[in-house]
Chain A
Amino acid sequence: MTAIPQSGAYVNFYQEKRGFLSWLVTEDHKRIALLYFWAISVFFVVAFILGLIMRLELIAPGRTLLDPQTYNEVFTLHGVIMIFLFIIPGIPAIFGNFSLPMLIGAPDVAFPKLNLISWYLYVLGGILALSTLLYGEGPADTGWTFYAPYSVKTGTNVTVAVLAAFVLGFSSILTGVNFIVTMHQMRAPGMSWMKMPLFPWALYATAWIQVLATPVVGITLLMIVAERTLGIGLFDPALGGDPVLYQHLFWIYSHPAVYIMVLPAMGLVSELLPVFVKKSIFGYKVIVYSSLAIAFIGYFVWGHHMFTSGMSGPARIIFSVLTFLVAIPSAIKVFNWVSTLYKGSIEIRTPLLYALAFIFLFTIGGLTGLVVGALATDIHVHDTYFVVGHFHYVMFGGTGFAFFGAIHFYFPKIWGRMYNQKMANVAFSILFVGFNLVYFPMLVLGMMGMPRRYYDYLPEFTLPNQISTVGSWILAIGLILMITNLIRGRKGPKASSNPWGSVTLDWTHTQSPPTLYNFEKTPEIERGPYDYTDYEAYIKKNLQS
């Protein structure tokens, strides 16, 4: 970064220390956020390309490009990277790290060294996952769920892939612990819990899931390793184990984990909307409580992933009811977001477009979730492309789009520059169209009865598959456009410290880019996080001081 000449002693966090090494040993939450940003972006692009390859293979029945073994390894690696290296860490590790301390008026997170260790664990896990490409029988071919007994029997590098997920789990747990303590201990004076902004609140709910649920999957994955290497019969009936036990243990974590994936995105959207609508978020408290409710009820619904596994009828019924109940807090959030727009003074800028797209795509993801939550309909679409469409709408349409929106939102704060906003909107539109072209046909395919994880398909499934593949090219064009525009934006015009006119501390009380400890003096909390009455005067006042 080039130095930003400013009067007086302003030294931003890039200038504080220089050199490659200073990054590798940094304890600054903003630098660690950027370390995550680069690592996660690389993994995302790799997994995205794997997605494109799968779509290309599926453009027509029969073999197009890959042999079936390679295809199976590709979708597994795609899933593993997207889940463990992109969606789960993505928003908390990057935008949580970057803005959580600033949003609550703190100089850093509670345990900066632990924060850095978490990053190294992340990188180690990522390298382990990718290393499976290089030796032995090739990367795991089990799907990201590692279902036993196949995962116990296959000759591919399941053991290392599972260990990678285990290490990544630790990274996630440590980040969670760090954030919980930070929010308990380091809020600026005057910031009561009910004055804390909603993104921190979402991270708080998420962190509890990370800390409480991740150990379960960690142990489960170690059990797979024990079974593979020591032959201890836990899951393989040939050794006296129970395959369904594995599924229970896996989903006890992995269902709450879907809220690790989506709650932070919801928090970001709650943060973005008021800034561009210039009025308070609608129903602040309700949004807080709904996050907590989701985090809580989310522990009790894992069985909906196993409606066809042979569970008893009553168990299926209970899991179905609870699943419907957990849908309600999400629905409430959607209604509150839409109501926030009412009587606002809405400026349609790029981050807002992503937030609105999030609401639309997440709503589709949520509503299709009702189809898989109901017993009769899930029996038909379980393990079909309907599910693939559903979770891409939630994870990519929801969390992915919120992630893109956050990049565009925090860009001027992170780099002190502004990207070309027209081009950003064009890229957004292409991404949005491409996204729906890729995934809507998948919902149709699932209703028609095409199972997932299929290398090849019957001729009647051809047309929707072709539309989806063409859509993936449009999606890719949108992504390339977005990325090049952002890279160019780092040389764009200088951004002011508060280009969007936000009233939260991260924008009102810090420079762009911020200084090492963010604030010159600990900010005092004078008003609620989304109070936009006379916001112009408020922003000006803080700028001068």
Chain B
Amino acid sequence: MSGASNFVEGVDLAFYVILGISSFFLVGITAVMIYFVIRYRKSKNPKADTSITGSNKLELIWTIIPTILVLVMFYYGWAGFAPMRDVPDDAINVKAIARMWSWTFEYENGKKSDKLIVPKGKPVKLDLISVDVNHALYVPAFRIKEDVIPGRNNYMWFTANQFGSYDLMCAEYCGLRHAYMLTTVEVVGDDEWVEWMKTPEGESDLDKVAEGFNVIKMNGCVACHSSDGTKLVANSFKDIWGTERKVLVNGEEQTVIIDSEYIHESIYDPNVKVVVGYNPGLMPSYKGMLSESDVNLIIEYIKSLQQ
């Protein structure tokens, strides 16, 4: 089977058929139009043939042929789609829980993860649950998408055919951070998956660290702050938790300890305390963009960078 999921072939075939027929008509119509405009321009054809007002035969032809063609297109569209509603009985059940603005996946044994981890070659059924507003679960590489609507048990399914990591996005507008409601599908080997399912949930700390990194990646923090000690525009996050810093407050030098309070302040009011050696005004305030819980995730992440 070609393609990252079992649906790719059918969907792409529909694309080829529809886009193929469409391109043919677009090129044809445009070419004829340009040809007529040049061939029958006034200088070449000073007198129009006003006796032509229509032709029933032509009308019939260009009603019947397009009707047949659109029915062909409909057929391929239907054929590629029909299996998407037909879930195999042996599919693995996973709950996909959407909230503003993140995904959680809950497996049959109660294990949870923020990435969707699935075994290659096994059908997986997703029960789509939203706890707030409409979202849509979209995996472009698998050609699948279905809305996740509160109070409604939508579902979708697929079989992943290739190892790898694939983008999973929210495709139904859901407010402020809709564009950041991203994660991945990780397609792993069967044994690996079984093994992973058995390991107890890496204790939620690990999840938090990963989420914290997600937050700083998605908000562009990483453009200026590295995680490995490299100094970019600003200091790295590595090994800073609990250390002391000299900062300027209204032009006066003070010493602070990098703790939860200081990090909160640096994110919401970055220019109140600026570390000696940096210019104020470089970092924007993230008030209104990062929630309290986002900031706590960032703190978990920074803590995790401690040696």
Contact of B288 with A67 in the complex, beta carbons under 8 Å: yes
Contact of A313 with B82 in the complex, beta carbons under 8 Å: yes
A11 CA to B239 CA, complexed, in Å: 85
Which one of A46-54, A216-224, A236-244, A415-423 contacts B? A236-244
Q: Give, as a whole number of angstroms, the nearest-CB distance from A287 to chain B.
A: 9
Given A242-B151, A313-B85, A370-B18, A375 and B78 contact (CB-CB distance below 8 Å): yes
Q: Which of B7, B30, B144 has the most CB of A within 10 A?
A: B30
Which one of A98-106, A108-116, A339-347 contacts B? A339-347
Contact of B59 with A286 in the complex, beta carbons under 8 Å: yes
Contact of B145 with A382 in the complex, beta carbons under 8 Å: yes
Check if B258 is an interface residue, CB within 8 A of chain A: no
Q: Give, as a whole number of angstroms, the nearest-CB distance from A300 to chain B.
A: 15
Q: Give, as a whole number of angstroms, the nearest-CB distance from A402 to chain B.
A: 16
Interface string of A332-359 (1 = CB under 8 A from B): 1011101101111111100000001001
Contact of B25 with A449 in the complex, beta carbons under 8 Å: no
For chain A residues 351-389, which have a beta carbon within 8 Å of chain B?
Answer: 356, 359-360, 363-364, 367-368, 370-371, 373-380, 382-384
A341 CA to B31 CA, complexed, in Å: 12
Check if B76 is an interface residue, CB within 8 A of chain A: yes
A309 CA to B152 CA, complexed, in Å: 10
Check if A141 is an interface residue, CB within 8 A of chain B: yes
From A143, A243, A377, A453, contact of B15 by CB (8 A): A377
Residues of chain B lying within 8 A (CB to CB) of residue A263:
none
Nearest residue (CB) in B for A143 is: B173
Residues of chain B lying within 8 A (CB to CB) of residue A320:
74, 77-78
Number of interface residues of B (CB under 8 A): 84
A243 CA to B145 CA, complexed, in Å: 18
Check if A533 is an interface residue, CB within 8 A of chain B: yes
Residues of chain A lying within 8 A (CB to CB) of residue B152:
237, 242-244, 310
Residues of chain A lying within 8 A (CB to CB) of residue B175:
72, 141, 150, 154
Nearest residue (CB) in B for A145 is: B173
Check if B169 is an interface residue, CB within 8 A of chain A: yes
Number of interface residues of A (CB under 8 A): 92
A334 CA to B33 CA, complexed, in Å: 10
Interface string of B51-92 (1 = CB under 8 A from A): 011110011001100110011011011111110110000000
Given A237-B152, A243-B152, A377-B14, A449 and B167 contact (CB-CB distance below 8 Å): yes
A325 CA to B69 CA, complexed, in Å: 11
Residues of chain B lying within 8 A (CB to CB) of residue A453:
173, 178-179
Contact of B53 with A282 in the complex, beta carbons under 8 Å: yes
Q: Give, as a whole number of angstroms, the nearest-CB distance from B80 to chain A.
A: 3
**Beyond A327-B66, A454-B179: 16 further Cβ-contacts under 8 Å?**
A308-B145, A310-B149, A313-B82, A316-B81, A338-B33, A342-B40, A344-B36, A345-B40, A347-B42, A371-B19, A374-B78, A375-B78, A376-B77, A379-B144, A380-B11, A449-B138
Q: List 28 A-B contacts (CB under 8 A).
A: A68-B176, A154-B175, A237-B152, A279-B48, A280-B50, A282-B54, A285-B54, A325-B70, A331-B62, A332-B63, A335-B62, A342-B36, A346-B36, A346-B42, A356-B33, A359-B29, A360-B30, A367-B25, A368-B22, A371-B18, A374-B74, A376-B7, A376-B77, A379-B146, A383-B136, A453-B178, A455-B178, A458-B182
Q: When A and B form their complex, which 6 residue pairs have the shortest distance between CB atoms, in order from nearest?
A: A449-B140, A374-B77, A376-B80, A237-B151, A375-B81, A341-B36
Instruction: Give chain B's interface residues, CB within 8 Å of chain A.
Output: 7, 10-11, 14-15, 18-19, 22, 25-26, 29-30, 32-33, 36-37, 40-42, 45-50, 52-55, 58-59, 62-63, 66-67, 70-71, 73-74, 76-82, 84-85, 132-134, 136, 138, 140-141, 143-147, 149-152, 154, 167, 169-180, 182, 218, 220, 223, 288-289
